[in-house]
Chains A and B, each alone.
Chain A
Amino acid sequence: MSTKEIRLLSVSAILGYGFSEASLKAGMARKPDMIGVDGGSVDPGPHYLGAGIPFCSPIAIKRDLRLMLHAAIEAGIPMVIGTCGGAGGNPHLDLVAGMARDIAREDGLSFKMALIRAEQDKAEIKRRIAAGGIHPLAHQPELTDAVVDRATRIVGMMGPEPFIEALDNGAQVVLAGRSSDPAPWAAMCIRAQLPPAPAWYAGKMLECGATPSIPKGHDSLFVTVREDHMECEPCNPARRCTPLSIANHSLHENSSPIHHIEPGGMLDTSDCRFDAVSDRAVRISGMKWNPASQYTVKLEGVELAGYRAICVAGTRDPLLIGRLDNFLESVRAEVATKAAAFGATPDTYRLGFRVYGRDGVMAEREPKRDAEPHEVGFVIEVVSQQSREMAAAVLGVARANMLHTDFPGRLCREGNMAFPFSPSDIDVGPVYRFSVFHVADLADPRELFPIEYEMVR
């Protein structure tokens, strides 16, 4: 067995979540072969992919990026970030690339940078639909040209191969669009001839920074990958990895704890062993990699669902709380009549009453919906398919009727609702929904992910 190893430093869970400079320094002192961080996630919902904006603030992203660039350039090692800007579309990647250029100019750094694009051309996706190369995931319908045409943005989720190409071509800074979270880390290991099983498992740990440690937090994680195992240790001495914290993390965000589908294969963790090598470090072994007969990448896409306006309110009136469903139905009926009068017929908007204190968190799955609370909070919500202005107009009617609509036994004749804010109504803007959640068969794992190189100085 070879004694080869790859040493990897992940600074945090997401670029922009922050990490301490002490953790970075401690990690760099252990001489990593690569520094990186996951840049995003689909978890914050469809909005960010649709709107082309990050879910972390640009200020926080630039702070993290500056520290990482300095550390990488000083040590002469690659710095790699997948799913840049939160959702990994072109505006997201361009935002982070622009920051890297700004930091280089401001701080006198120079490096070869690769940008790996993941946003997909609609004509190309439609060509692949026609060729039978796109398949639905998670019980979704087959992808159609109409859904592709309606999509605001579609990204492909790349595997390690585009990262390997960029690193092989000498890029020191690799910024990528939407990527499988472990892919940048797996790439570094696989190009060093380490086997895919520990390489992918390492990526699964590193993509969340110090999350696999206790106390859990957004901080840095150091992983050493060898031929048949990997070792995890947090950089901050206040945190520890334990067999339980690592095992627990292996459950994270996957439908199965033992079968992890990735581009090109499946990581099987059924027979994993978690052994403490110190009171802060854990060795993980026994993972297996089953190559897929067909290489696939996930596609994610969103479409515009309308325009949202919301209003927050609450009631402390037991007479109202006691007949809430009837009250909300009478408000809904009032809104239907009044909104139709200015051109918003009920088929053009959706009106929602979220009732906190009753079933605001679990909706139909709430087992204690009938428990009577002493106060309840509302988020009144309108999503209009017509315009932002119409969403605001329908919401205004809903808010006024929540405040003033009579109900049997009413004593609070001045108003039913306590509003915490003035203005009470908030224009949220465009709303997106997930519309593409499919996989594409690829002949070459790199074919949807073009790479651009530049010298930054």
Chain B
Amino acid sequence: MTLIRDAARVCKSKNAGPFELTIDVVFDDAAVFQKVKATGVLCPALFARLYNVPEEHVLFTPYDAAFAFKATFPRLVPAGEFGDTDVYGCQQHAPLLDVDLPI
């Protein structure tokens, strides 16, 4: 069992503009990145499940040059709107930390 919190170098969230949230998971080198990519665990369906968004609203991009995976999807409410809990969007990464990577 290898959790993202133990395998990744970076796991972070942030606004991508006031209406979208973007999450990055970055690994140390090409070898780890390719192993993780091969598992298929990091995929649009994972983000759809963890963040309760329709899968078709998840823009998922592996970025080989940076050993990174990026997922972008709508915020619950726009930044600063009534009910927003995280104006910068930088504390929405935690559910990913305990995702198990079979590597």
Interface residues of A (CB under 8 A from B): 42-47, 137-140, 244, 247-248, 250-258, 269-274, 305, 350, 352, 354, 360-365, 367, 383, 431-434, 437
The CA-CA distance from A273 to B68 in the complex, in Å, is 14
Structural contact, A251 and B63, CB atoms closer than 8 A: yes
The CA-CA distance from A52 to B5 in the complex, in Å, is 41
Structural contact, B80 and A365, CB atoms closer than 8 A: no
The CA-CA distance from A247 to B67 in the complex, in Å, is 8
Interchain Cβ contacts under 8 Å between A and B, 26 examples: A42-B17, A42-B18, A42-B79, A44-B88, A45-B87, A244-B26, A248-B9, A248-B10, A251-B24, A251-B63, A251-B68, A251-B70, A255-B59, A256-B61, A256-B72, A258-B61, A269-B65, A274-B65, A352-B83, A354-B85, A361-B85, A361-B86, A362-B85, A363-B83, A365-B50, A434-B79
Structural contact, A248 and B59, CB atoms closer than 8 A: no
Structural contact, B70 and A46, CB atoms closer than 8 A: no
B19: A residues at CB distance < 8 A:
137-140, 434, 437
Structural contact, B67 and A256, CB atoms closer than 8 A: no
Contact of B26 among A45, A46, A251, A437 (CB under 8 A): A251
Q: Contacts A138-B19, A367-B50, A437-B17: A257 and B80 contacting too (C-beta < 8 A)?
A: no
A45: B residues at CB distance < 8 A:
18, 79-80, 87
The CA-CA distance from A253 to B79 in the complex, in Å, is 13
A434: B residues at CB distance < 8 A:
18-19, 78-81
Q: How far is the CB of A139 from chain B (nearest CB, A)?
A: 7
Structural contact, B66 and A247, CB atoms closer than 8 A: yes
Structural contact, B76 and A363, CB atoms closer than 8 A: yes
Q: Contacts A256-B72, A367-B95: A305 and B82 contacting too (C-beta < 8 A)?
A: yes
Q: Does B20 count as interface, using CB distance less than 8 angstroms?
A: yes
B24: A residues at CB distance < 8 A:
248, 251, 257
B52-101 at interface with A (beta carbon < 8 Å): 52, 59, 61, 63, 65-68, 70, 72, 74, 76, 78-83, 85-88, 91-92, 94-95
Interface residues of B (CB under 8 A from A): 9-10, 14-20, 22, 24, 26, 28, 50-52, 59, 61, 63, 65-68, 70, 72, 74, 76, 78-83, 85-88, 91-92, 94-95
B78: A residues at CB distance < 8 A:
433-434
Q: How far is the CB of A432 from chain B (nearest CB, A)?
A: 7
B86: A residues at CB distance < 8 A:
361-362
Q: How far is the CB of B56 from chain A (nearest CB, A)?
A: 12
Contact of A255 among B22, B50, B63, B65 (CB under 8 A): B22
Task: Specify the main secondary structure of chain A where it touches its partner.
Answer: loop
A437: B residues at CB distance < 8 A:
17-19
Please indicate which of the listed interface residues A255, A352, A367, A433 has the most CB atoms of chain B within 10 Å of its own CB.
Answer: A255
Structural contact, B59 and A253, CB atoms closer than 8 A: no
Q: How far is the CB of B28 from chain A (nearest CB, A)?
A: 8
The CA-CA distance from A246 to B22 in the complex, in Å, is 18
A248: B residues at CB distance < 8 A:
9-10, 24, 26, 66, 68
Q: How far is the CB of B95 from chain A (nearest CB, A)?
A: 5
| Chain A minimum-CB-distance residue to B15 | A43
Q: How far is the CB of A386 from chain B (nearest CB, A)?
A: 15
Structural contact, A44 and B87, CB atoms closer than 8 A: yes
Structural contact, B81 and A254, CB atoms closer than 8 A: no
A254: B residues at CB distance < 8 A:
16, 22
Q: How far is the CB of A14 from chain B (nearest CB, A)?
A: 13
Structural contact, A247 and B87, CB atoms closer than 8 A: no
B92: A residues at CB distance < 8 A:
361-362, 365
Q: How far is the CB of B76 from chain A (nearest CB, A)?
A: 6
Q: Contacts A360-B85, A434-B79: A257 and B66 contacting too (C-beta < 8 A)?
A: yes
Q: How far is the CB of B29 from chain A (nearest CB, A)?
A: 9
B88: A residues at CB distance < 8 A:
43-44
The CA-CA distance from A433 to B87 in the complex, in Å, is 12
Structural contact, A273 and B65, CB atoms closer than 8 A: yes
The CA-CA distance from A50 to B33 in the complex, in Å, is 43
Please indicate which of the listed interface residues A254, A269, A271 has the most CB atoms of chain B within 10 Å of its own CB.
Answer: A254
Q: How far is the CB of A104 from chain B (nearest CB, A)?
A: 35
Q: How far is the CB of B65 from chain A (nearest CB, A)?
A: 5
Please indicate which of the listed interface residues A47, A139, A248 has the most CB atoms of chain B within 10 Å of its own CB.
Answer: A248
Structural contact, B79 and A255, CB atoms closer than 8 A: no
